[in-house]
Amino acid sequence: MSPAFLFGPILAGHAFQQTAFIAMVSVLAQLLGLSESQIGIAIAAGLLMSAFGPPFAGLLGGRVVIVGALCGLLMANLALFGLLGGVASGISSGLILTVLIVIRGVQGLSVSCLLMAAQQASFEAPDSLKTLAKVQSMGSLGRIGASLSVGLLVLLSPLAPLVPGAIGALLSLFRIRNATPPRLRATARPPDIAAFRVTALTQIAVGASQIGLAPAMMARLSLSPEAIAGYAGLCLAAANLGLFLALRLIVPRAAGQVARLAGLGLLLAGAFMTIVAHPAAFIVISFVIGGSTAVLFTLNLSDIMTRKDFAQLQVAGWNGAVQIASLAIGVGLGSAFLTLSSAAPFVIAGLCGAVLAIFPPQIQRT
């Protein structure tokens, strides 16, 4: 059974839930009696925890990591449903926030370890690059689905957008029960940090461009904040669609100068984002950013995972940690430079693209 078949449900389901969670900040704050900033702290805690686990997960062994992470996700989801379903009524807001942070921390840690295991399993398959691309594309399916449906699901119930995460964990646990677990590298030693330059640059570009979308549209489009929020959601959906299509159609057939062209695409997308003034243009360029960064990130991961000099090092785990940290750096840089200009975050993305066009990742086929 392929890694995408085994891990796809939980990767897509959690991505759906994570996207819905971000979109539902105001709803969740009202349900739990917390402020929106406190909900944001809980979301950030989940992201932070997801950076710490993968480098060390290989020391535990494949089955322990996979089954433990899936069971942890199931329990965290049940606790989340109980919290939002009114079990915590009458409890102090401080305790509710603490419980929510713990839940999000368990979710972030578990999913990041599962993604690392899925990536490692991809390199045990005959066509590892194609298999890795499928694994990497699973999350985009969940994010696209959430972007398009969360508004309708919330009308049914505040719990409805969170259900796919639990269903995904159950399905993956059912599928994995008789499967041979991947052989995780039983070490926490990282390779040379320079190996992750592509990971860092692509995620800085993603973080900066995502945080800059709404402010740029607000500055250049004569639309209400509500309309801007709607178009920003469409831009994020377009970026994830670009990511999905690039991983399914381009990466498995990548050859020649594809990586350099992807870097050039990111450079041009960042440049055009500084001047466009139409919603459709923002959506199309978001599609290009999603696709180009996906190509660069996945080709680089395939290269460093198959390098003989890295064979005894923990590559996938540290790549995941660098990915999360770089995404946070991109968001931070984009936010900081917004004070100078609404175009500044896209200048950052374009500069990252320029570096990657000059020094693209290698294309490694196994």
Name which residue leads in pLDDT, 180 or 200.
200
- Give the range among 81-85, 147-151, 207-211, 217-221 with minimum mean pLDDT: 147-151
Model pTM? Answer: 0.84
Instruction: Supply the Cα-derived Rg of the chain in whole angstroms.
Output: 20
185 domain residue, yes or no: no
**Residues 211, 169 within the same domain:** no
- CA distance linking residue 94 with residue 167, whole number of Å: 29
Is residue 197 domain-shared with residue 168, that is, in the same domain?
no
Query: Quick one: tokens of 298?
Result: 């996945």
- Cα separation of the two ends of the chain: 18
59 shares a domain with 26: yes
Which one of 176, 209, 239 terminates a domain? Answer: 176
Q: How many CA atoms lie within 13 A of 207 on its CB side?
A: 21
Structural domain contains residue 364: no
Residues 331 and 290 in one domain: yes
Residue 40 lies in a domain: yes
- How many C-beta neighbours within 10 Å does residue 168 have? 27
Domain that holds residue 295: 193-358
- Specify if 365 maps to a domain: no
Q: Is residue 51 situated within a structural domain?
A: yes
Tens of pLDDT along 84-108?
A: 887 667 778 888 889 999 998 899 8
Helices (H), the chain: 3-23, 25-32, 36-52, 54-57, 62-82, 93-122, 128-156, 163-176, 197-220, 225-245, 258-273, 279-305, 315-337, 344-358
Domain count, the chain: 2
Residue 162 shares a structural domain with residue 227: no
Angle between helices 197-220 and 279-305 (to 10 degrees): 170
Query: Is 184 a domain residue?
Result: no
Residue 81 lies in a domain: yes
pLDDT of residue 112: 87
**Which residue type is seen at 244?**
F
Other CB atoms closer than 10 Å to residue 278's CB: what's the count?
11
Q: Are residues 89 and 215 in the same domain?
A: no
208: CATH: 1.20.1250.20
